Chain A
Amino acid sequence: AQTVTQSQPEMSVQEAETVTLSCTYDTSENNYYLFWYKQPPSRQMILVIRQEAYKQQNATENRFSVNFQKAAKSFSLKISDSQLGDTAMYFCAFIFKAAGNKLTFGGGTRVLVKP
C-alpha cells in the first residue's frame, strides 16, 4: 500500500521567517511524482510545487522549495520569507501512473504565519 505521512499537524512561523514542513512516503514504485498542495481558509486547493522522482535536482517555485531525498523517501517543503497569505493547510501527495493517476495524500500540516 502507498502511504504518505506528515508528522507535524500544526506549525507557526513569524512573518519573513522560514518554515520547513516534513513529509515521508512509502512506495515500491520507481516512477512517480510528488506534490505539495496548499489549501487556504477559503478552501480551494492549489498546487504549490511538484517534483519528478527521476530528477535529482530539487524543485523551486519562488519562495517555495523542496528537499527530495529519494532513498529516504522524504519530501520536505521549505517556505522562505513567510507571508501572511501563506497561512493555510499544506498537503503532501504523490501520484504514479500504474495507479491510474490517483493522488495519495498525507494528513496535512496547518501553517499559521504570525505578523
Chain B
Amino acid sequence: DVKVTQSSRYLVKRTGEKVFLECVQDMDHENMFWYRQDPGLGLRLIYFSYDVKMKEKGDIPEGYSVSREKKERFSLILESASTNQTSMYLCASSFQTATASGAFFGQGTRLTVV
C-alpha cells in the first residue's frame, strides 16, 4: 500500500512562529503536493513539486514556502504563522506519468495558530 505520512496530526503554534509541516511518501513518486482544506472551499493547492529541488506555486502560495531536498520528503514552511493560517493541511503524492491514478493523501495536519 502507498503510504503518505505527515509528521503531526495536530499542531498548536503561536503567531509569528516559524512552522514546519513534514510529509514523507514511500512509493518513489515524482510529484508531491501541499493542499489547504477549509470548510466550503474544498482543497486549495499551496505548492507542488515535480522533482527534487523543483517547486511551483499553486493557487494560494502567499505566506508559505516549501522544501524538497529528497525525493520522498516534502516540507511546508510557514515563515511567520498567522491566525488566518489556522487550517487543515493535506500532503499528497503521485507519479508524474500516471495521471489516471490521481494522488495519494496523508492523514492531514490540523494546525491552530493562536
Contacts and interface: CB of A to CB of B under 8 A. Distances in A.
Interface residues of A, number: 28
Interface in A63-115: 91, 93, 95-97, 100-108
Contact of A101 (B43, B90, B99): B99
Nearest to A51: B100
B61 interface: no
B90 A45 contact: yes
B100 A103 contact: no
Nearest to A100: B50
Given A9-B40, A91-B42, A95-B99, A102 B58 contact: yes
Interface string B61-91: 0000000000000000000000000001010
Contacts of A25: none
Given A35-B102, A47-B102, A101 B96 contact: yes
A102 B102 contact: no
Interface string B97-114: 001101101111000000
B25 interface: no
A91 B43 contact: yes
Given A102-B45, A102-B58, A33 B40 contact: no
A91 B92 CA distance: 15
A103 B42 contact: no
A28 to B, nearest CB: 17
Contact of A100 (B48, B90, B92, B107): B48
A62 interface: no
A100 B58 CA distance: 11
Given A43-B108, A50-B100, A105 B48 contact: no
